[in-house]
């Protein structure tokens, strides 16, 4: 997806599936339990769902990000993010 239109159309495209029920390897037990991203694969949440389940889960989230809500959060978001660079510089460096 490289455009807004493509991203907006993808949930309705049957070739684009995120739901684990469509994953052959996962359903066949071929994905090891210690795989680093197994929580993402096994999740049954909005980003990992399709169809009616995605629509049902997306509703409450969408309300929280309505333009009027985002506008009300803008001042606080700018204040918090504006202070982050200073806070990061003050953190101790951890050896790798």
Does the pTM of the predicted model rise above 0.85?
no
**Per-residue confidence of the chain (96 residues) as pLDDT tens digits?**
678 887 777 767 767 666 666 677 777 888 777 877 666 666 666 566 667 777 777 788 788 888 898 899 999 988 888 877 776 777 777 776
Contact 31, 38 (CB under 8 A): yes
Does the residue 95 lie in any domain? no
Does the residue 69 lie in any domain? yes
The residue segments making up the domain with residue 22 are 7-90
Mark 33-47 as b/e (b = at least 16 C-beta within 10 Å).
Answer: eeeeeeeeeeeeebe
Does the residue 96 lie in any domain? no
What is the model's pLDDT at position 71? 92
Number of domains in the chain: 1
Q: Whole-angstrom Cα distance, residue 9 to residue 1?
A: 10
What is the model's pLDDT at position 42? 64
Q: Whole-angstrom Cα distance, residue 82 to residue 59?
A: 30
């Amino acid at each position: 997806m490289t455009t807004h239109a493509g991203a907006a159309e993808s949930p309705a495209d049957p070739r684009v599936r995120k739901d684990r029920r469509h994953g052959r390897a996962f359903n066949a037990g071929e994905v090891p339990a210690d795989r680093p991203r197994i929580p993402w694969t096994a999740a049954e949440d909005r980003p990992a769902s399709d169809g009616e389940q995605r629509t049902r889960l997306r509703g409450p989230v969408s309300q929280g990000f309505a333009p009027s809500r985002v506008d009300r959060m803008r001042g606080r978001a700018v204040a918090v993010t504006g202070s982050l660079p200073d806070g990061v510089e003050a953190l101790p460096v951890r050896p790798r």
